[in-house]
């Protein structure tokens, strides 16, 4: 599996504080079947990270992973707040793509209104970038106005939901909304959004299994992220894989 959204770099955002913490996170990811972690530290007002710092930390972490014989490759990336992306110089934005490519992982605001989100995202697309939208299922604006999300997906934006959302980590409403979006073909990737090795851990496979999404798991966690990192065509979802999804089925919080 390829984990497209993970806060694994040390001391750079609200992920691990030390490289030992990064190694623990990577060990947990490896044990869960992940082979590639895309390091996506926050780039926002609170954490104004830059590509040079991210590249240096990715290099240092990969050296330690090899020395410790942890079978994971870390690739550079960033989780760019929408509000930071619109104010960023194009040359700087271009350096922050997932795996060094042209896909940007954009974090939408957690505000209750979706007004303007679509316009800004379409502006970014017009600038020649491609966009993966991080965890829309956790954004109140899209709960209130799903049509905005549908319109930006129609415009070519991909969505990446958080694995924990599928099993109620962010509550029942987020779980139900996440499953509805998967059922309706509005989700292209599942990532961990891990911040550490235990509390916000890097699992994906167990969450997909629990949510009954096994038929889609390979497409969501391997095929689509591989195409994103390679800059290639996004493969179509396997036919019929969403027919069994029942967002309103009773469940118990784990």
In the complex, the residues that contact Fe ion under the rule CB under 5 A are 79, 193
Nearest CB to Fe ion, comparing residues 79 and 223: 79
Task: Please give the residue whose beta carbon sits closest to Fe ion in the complex.
Answer: 193
- Minimum separation from the CB atom of position 132 to Fe ion (A): 12
Q: Which is nearer to Fe ion, 121 or 163 (CB)?
A: 163
Q: Between 193 and 223, name the residue whose CB sits nearer to Fe ion.
A: 193
Instruction: Decide: helix, strand or coil at residue 40.
Output: coil
What is the smallest separation between the CB atom of 56 and Fe ion, expressed in angstroms? 20
Angle (CA) 198-199-202 rounded to 5° is 65
Q: How far is the CB of 21 from Fe ion (least distance, A)?
A: 16
Choice between 137 and 193, CB closer to Fe ion: 193
What are the φ and ψ backbone dihedral angles of 248, each rounded to 5 degrees?
-95, 5
Q: How far is the CB of 80 from Fe ion (least distance, A)?
A: 11
Of 193 and 207, the one with the shorter C-beta distance to Fe ion is 193
SS (H, E, C) 110-157: CCCCCCCHHHHHHHHHHCCCEEEEECHHHCHHHHHCHHHHHHHHHCCC
Which has the closest alpha carbon to 123: 97, 95, 88, 150? 88
Please, what's the largest Cα pairwise distance for the chain?
49
Least Å distance, CB 84 to Fe ion, is 14
Measured CA to CA, the distance from residue 46 to residue 108 in angstroms comes to 15
Please, what is the minimum distance in Å from the beta carbon of residue 246 to Fe ion?
28
What are the E-state strand segments in the chain?
2-6, 36-39, 42-43, 73-76, 79-81, 103-107, 130-134, 158-162, 189-191
For tokens 């916000």, name the residue.
200
Residues contacting residue 136 through CB under 8 Å, at least 6 positions apart: 108, 142, 149, 159, 161, 181
**192 versus 241: smaller Cβ distance to Fe ion:** 192
Residue 193 C-beta: closest distance to Fe ion, Å: 4
Say whether 95 sits in a helix, a strand or coil: coil
Nearer to Fe ion, 130 or 135 (CB): 135
């Amino acid at each position: 599996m390829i984990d497209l959204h993970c806060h694994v770099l040390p001391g750079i955002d609200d992920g691990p504080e030390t490289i030992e913490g990064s190694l623990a996170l990577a060990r947990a990811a490896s044990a869960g079947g992940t082979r590639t972690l895309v390091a996506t530290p926050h780039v926002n007002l609170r954490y104004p990270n830059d590509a040079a710092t991210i590249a240096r930390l990715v290099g240092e972490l990969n050296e330690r992973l090899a020395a410790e014989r942890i079978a994971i490759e870390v690739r550079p990336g960033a989780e760019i707040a929408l509000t930071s992306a619109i104010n960023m110089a194009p040359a700087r934005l271009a350096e922050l793509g997932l795996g060094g490519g042209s896909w940007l992982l954009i974090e939408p605001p957690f505000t209750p209104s979706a007004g303007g989100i679509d316009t800004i995202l379409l502006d970014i697309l017009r600038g020649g970038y491609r966009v993966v939208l991080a965890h829309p299922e956790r954004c109140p604006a899209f709960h209130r106005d799903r049509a905005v999300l549908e319109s930006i997906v129609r415009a070519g934006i991909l969505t990446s939901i958080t694995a924990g959302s599928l099993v109620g980590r962010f509550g029942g409403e987020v779980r139900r909304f996440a499953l509805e979006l998967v059922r309706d073909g509005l989700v292209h990737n599942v990532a961990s959004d891990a911040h550490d090795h235990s509390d916000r851990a890097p699992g994906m496979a167990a969450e997909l299994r629990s949510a009954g999404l096994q038929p889609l798991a390979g497409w969501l966690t391997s095929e689509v992220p591989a195409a994103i990192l390679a800059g290639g065509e996004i493969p179509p979802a396997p036919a019929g894989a969403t027919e069994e999804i029942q967002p309103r089925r009773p469940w118990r919080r784990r």
